[in-house]
Amino acid sequence: MVSRKRSSSNSGPGSLPNKHHNHRHDSNSAANDDSFNELLKPIYKGKSLADEVNTAEDKWNLLPAFLKVKGLVKQHLDSFNYFVDVDLKKILKANEKVLSDVDPDFYVKYLDIRVGQKSSSKTKDPILPPHECRLRDLTYSAPIYVDVEYTRGRKIIMHRDLEIGKMPIMLRSNKCILDGASDSIMAELNECPLDPGGYFIVNGTEKVILVQEQLSKNRIIVEADEKKGIVQASVTSSTHERKSKTYVVTKNDKIYLKHNSISEEVPIVLVLKAAGITSDLEIMQLVCGDDATYQDLFVVNFEEVAKMGIFTQQQALEYLGSKVKTMRRYKLTTLQEGIEAVATTIIAHLTVDNLDFKEKALYMAMMARRVVMAMHNPKMVDDRDYVGNKRLELAGQLMSLLFEDLFKKFNTDFKANIDKILRKPNRATEFNPLLSINIHSNNITSGLNRAISTGNWSLKRFKMERAGVTHVLSRLSYISALGMMTRISSQFEKSRKVSGPRALQPSQFGMLCTSDTPEGEACGLVKNLALMTHITTDDEEDPIRKLCFLIGVENISLIDSANLHSAYGVYLNGTIIGTTRFPTKFVSQFRSLRRTGKVSEFISIYTNLHQKAVHIATDGGRICRPLIIVSQGESKVKSHHLLQLKQGKLQFDDFLKQGLVEYLDVNEENDCFIALYESDLSINITHLEIEPFTVLGAVAGLIPYPHHNQSPRNTYQCAMGKQAIGAIAYNQFQRIDTLLYLMVYPQQPMVKTKTIELIDYDKLPAGQNATVAVMSYSGYDIEDALVLNKASIDRGFGRCQVLRKNTTILKRYPNHTKDIVAGMRVNENNEPIFQHQSLGPDGLGEVGTRVESGQVYVNKCVPANASDSIMDQAAATTEHRETPVTYRAPEPSYIDQVMMSVGDNDQALIKVLLRQTRRPELGDKFSSRHGQKGVCGIIVQQEDLPFNDDGVCPDIIMNPHGFPSRMTVGKMIELISGKAGVLNGSLEYGTCFGGSKLEDMSKILVDKGFNYSGKDMLYSGITGECLQAYIFFGPIYYQKLKHMVLDKMHARSRGPRAVLTRQPTEGRSRDGGLRLGEMERDCVIAYGASQLLLERLMLSSDAFEVDVCNECGLMGYNGWCTSCKSAEFVVKMTIPYAAKLLFQELLSMNIAPRLKLGDVF
């Protein structure tokens, strides 16, 4: 579809970047974005401005424009920016006053809150740059300032810029110093300009708050259990204060309201009466309208309440109040409890402050109506798994929940402190509350830090404990870090065996990647965002409500029950605000306001015909994506727009403002007709896709020709692409990470995709283009094993470096002693001893030296008596004991970097980075980009490998049996396109649903004198004879995966044993034994090798000699039976220690196992 004109040889994109440096028309904002600047050059991707612009093929240009504005992690940044700029102020407003119980006149009032900026200054406070925080194990944070007003005696004093704590800052958010930084500034700060940001640095580690998927809040969800015959409508109300769930359920075909803090189910009619709808007629009208079938279903509900003799609102409230179970400090009357229940407890997100419960009554009536509808027609239930019913919770929202909790705690602590001081009868000085505010400021800082670094989100006010919210940002490769930023984890239990939540939902088209999900237990529960998605932040409701009334919505408070259901209800975030008689007109007017920028572009509006409702959503966490608007069967984006986009005269936002493109969320998509291609346009079509390949996410976008592959293969590649070793970032050599894998000579793929260019994978690739021959060779290629060419390995194929960090802290002790680093020790020849060979005179390893197993690279010494008191004057000068950091590994390493610094608690911090360079060896794992993994089975001399007419030898030989069952046709096409690209001197495209066409590629092959199918005639390297078949031969991009033999190889003859069982330890890291498990045991038994069995299971494991008394059958010791008090029948024998342990444990439980011995022979 998109790009065919790659045939002219000078148009390869690789040749472009340096050519036209002088022709930049860029604006200031584009200055730091090279990938976008390319768009502004006269020739971009082989097309010049003079070329005829074809909208159908060039509208993909909107994509880089979108990503320039949005970026791949924009959702995180947006959310965090919203939190620090808007949400913080809202939280402050909601908790603005601290009052004292003692002095009624006293108050402290918060006026304003800012992060990282004082009220006086125009610029951000200078904060420690992020890379320094990484290296020094600090937290990248900025101070939180508040302005307060408080009383001091009779005076009211205002104080600005009071620091109440520090807020961890998300990298590249608007509070970060990298915000808007140019490439050169980024380089100065040791940051990679391609790094997307969106994570935090807490105590030196990069932490990501994963996107959490949840069922949408404050919306009615109707579900039915057909077996039990239950229909229920539930709504999870979420406010700043509390979270609660209200149900309207059927029980024996009658409808009840259920709530956690109401002890039993209450008839819905009674609740409606309590909410002031005392007339049965009105209840009937509200719930059922004129519909006779609904009325028949509902009418039974009146009976129960009538029998109870409840007619008035007061009676109903008192009844309700008697059922409420709440803990209160103050006793309320039942009537008051009832009012409180209706006003605040039930459907808590609609809080009533006055006497008018109408809104609430309507909401409950609507819930009842939805239940009645579902009783009548079981299809009228909602789907929990539908993406439109989901909301994504991002870093900002989670931070705001946490901050509010901490801030409340801060205020209560502050208040307690104030009360304590004010209660003192005669104070010498006038009380200054600010003196006590600083004491608690550490709580907010450490609370935020702890939550992010441990991932435990504990919110007291919701009584919520959530673990595993944050993860360490995976820096295995650029793509793994990027993949992590787009990941969405679901709150759903992994163990439950329901398929619904895991299944691919049709509604996730274009919103969530269809391929990128892990295999196994988290399959379908962990998802990834597609390339062009945006996640909304909260928008204000009130202006939208007013606007709705302006364009003809009739206010709900004016509508009487009889007329309610004759028109379409207008719902704002799930709550009815009015009705409209002309829904189509209303919706189209609203949309036209949105398209002209009069309303935020992220507000969605759609009609639901089944419910006779128009829904408007302004809440945050909805997934949406941009689409081209179509009117009268014509795309609004014309070629001149794209031309202007290319010339840099238009930005993506201009497209939004001009009403050419708009964001649709999942619900609104259902209200539209969206054409995939321009050729599909007709008069009914409302929208056009920008590019179909955006159904995939960033990670799946790496796969060339994924539309030719069997779908699970793409999923496998998504998992493996994250394990590929490659370039991590431009600052990879400045980083000191726990474990870092780097490829020595990474290459960009011959067959690229549009996504690869958009996410800059071509600048930080992870893999190499290998020449692959698909043939059988040597027999060491069975089961997907690969044959590698030794000469290729010598040239650097698959070579990688492994960098490992070791951190040493020089502690200070309370008695003024501290750890020191001692120098090296020398032998009699004045040469350093073997263990200290790599040490320098400072006692630290010298950069560049080799360390072997057993050698020391930090010669740390701890004081011999660190616990003595300070009084001991001698303590400060005591001798030290050596506790060196020794290198232990099968292969030697080289010292790459040594860093010494001071952490945040004044202790010296030494980080040593050790480097190993590894070349591929037998058993190392490789994979292509099509889910085809394999290990190296043999490394063959180049002389023995086959070669073609040109003398080209393969780097990798792959067994053809890998193809038939896997059906990875994309890999074959990648080979042909790659081969054509090599011959042609161009990079070819394998973009999903597009890319270079196979026919064109074959044409190039034929033109260059090759077979159209990519097969070559090869000659055997051993015999020199021509091979009997034509061999499929060409370049395929291969990734080296992180699983390497060197990290896994393990053997043990003798070694450590577990203390309790005396059996060998488990695992490589503990030098463990290799287990002869149950299945192996069964084999040995079946074979009859009883002596082998005895040796494996006992003698080589935990043989133990015990004294058994043959008389009583119990175990004694030292040849003495303690129960028989004799040595007469004691026999020595060998049993496993675990068996002895079992007998003793049974004895301790009052079970006496007795051994009866008999002769073996």
Residues that bind another protein (CB under 8 A): 276-279, 281-282, 285, 311-312, 314-315, 328-332, 336, 339-340, 342-344, 351-358, 540, 542-544, 546-547, 549-550, 554-555, 557-558, 560-562, 585, 589, 593, 597-601
| End-to-end alpha carbon distance in the chain | 84
CB of 339 to another protein, least distance (A): 5
Distance CA 590, CA 303 (A): 44
Nearer to another protein, 369 or 487 (CB): 369
C-alpha of 860 from chain center: 39
Closest approach, Cβ 581 to another protein, in A, equals 12
Measured CA distances, 539 to 70, 240, 1155 (Å):
18, 16, 77
Q: Kindly state the smallest distance separating residue 899's Cβ from another protein, in Å.
A: 45
Shortest Cβ 656–another protein spacing (Å): 9
Question: At 809, which helix (H) or strand (E)?
Answer: strand 800-810
Q: Which is nearer to another protein, 25 or 598 (CB)?
A: 598
Of 854, 857, 839, the residue nearest 913 (C-alpha): 857
Residue 41 phi, psi (nearest 5): -80, 160
- Residue 1075 CB: number of other CB atoms within 10 A? 12
> Considering beta carbons, is residue 327 or 355 the nearer one to another protein?
355
The least distance separating another protein from the CB of residue 276, rounded to whole angstroms, comes to 7
**305 HSE (CA, 13 A, CB side):** 30
Buried b (16+ CB within 10 A) or exposed e, 395-412: bbbbbbbbbbbbbbbbbe
Q: CA dist 53 to 58, 607, 891, 991, Å?
A: 7, 37, 59, 20
d(CA 871, CA 869): 5
Instruction: Return the number of the residue (632 or 905) whose C-beta is nearest another protein.
Output: 632
Nearer to another protein among residue 598 and residue 638 (C-beta): 598
Contacts of 386 (CB under 8 A, 6+ apart): 505, 507, 666
Beta carbon of residue 343, minimum distance to another protein (angstroms, whole number): 3
Report angle CA 314, 317, 318 to the nearest 5 degrees.
Answer: 85
Residues in the chain, total = 1161
Secondary-structure percent of the chain, ordered helix, strand, coil, rounded to 5? 30, 25, 45
Q: Which is nearer to another protein, 314 or 686 (CB)?
A: 314
Give dist(CA 157, CA 434) in Å, integer. 11
Spell 653-679 as b/e; 16+ CB within 10 A means b: eebbebbbbbbbbbbbbebeebbeebe
Q: Would you say 315 or 789 has its CB closer to another protein? A: 315
| CA atoms within a 13 Å half-sphere pointing along the CA-CB vector of 947 | 14
In the complex, least distance from residue 314 CB atom to another protein, rounded to whole angstroms: 5
DSSP reduced 3-state for 735: coil
CA distances (Å), 710 to each of 507, 527, 604, 767, 968, in order?
22, 19, 36, 22, 6
Which residues, including other chains, have CB under 8 Å from residue 970's CB and lie 6 or more apart?
Answer: 703, 704, 705, 706, 707, 708, 709, 713, 930, 990
| Sign of the torsion formed by the C-alpha atoms of 591, 592, 598 and 602 | positive
Output 344 or 445, the one with its CB closest to another protein: 344
In angstroms, give the least distance from the CB of 585 to another protein: 8
Minimum CB distance to another protein, residue 69 (Å): 14
Please report how close the Cβ of residue 589 comes to another protein at its closest, in angstroms.
7
Residue 578 vs 946, nearer CB to another protein: 578
- Distance of CA 740 to CAs 310, 474, 624, 720, 1024, Å? 72, 10, 36, 17, 43
Judge whether 1095 and 1118 are in contact, CB under 8 Å.
no
Residue listed under structure tokens 């303690």: 1122
Rg of the Cα trace of the chain? 36
Helix (H) or strand (E) holding 988: strand 988-989
Distance CA 886, CA 802 (A): 18
Residue (269 or 939) nearer to another protein, CB: 269
For residue 676, the SS3 value is: coil
3-class secondary-structure state, position 870: coil
Ramachandran region, residue 656 (left: φ > 0; alpha: ψ -120 to 50; beta: rest): alpha
CB-nearer residue toward another protein: 342 or 374 = 342
Q: Helix or strand or coil: residue 773?
A: strand
In the complex, least distance from residue 533 CB atom to another protein, rounded to whole angstroms: 19
Helix (H) or strand (E) holding 675: strand 674-675
Tokens at 502, concatenated: 């895991």
Nearer to another protein, 206 or 282 (CB): 282
Any catalytic annotation for residue 665?
Answer: no
State which residue, 311 or 1104, has the beta carbon closest to another protein.
311
Given the residues 34, 183, 654, 784, the one annotated as active site: 784
Min CB(793)–another protein separation in Å:
57
Give the nearest distance from C-beta 352 to another protein in angstroms. Answer: 5
Residues designated as active site: 784
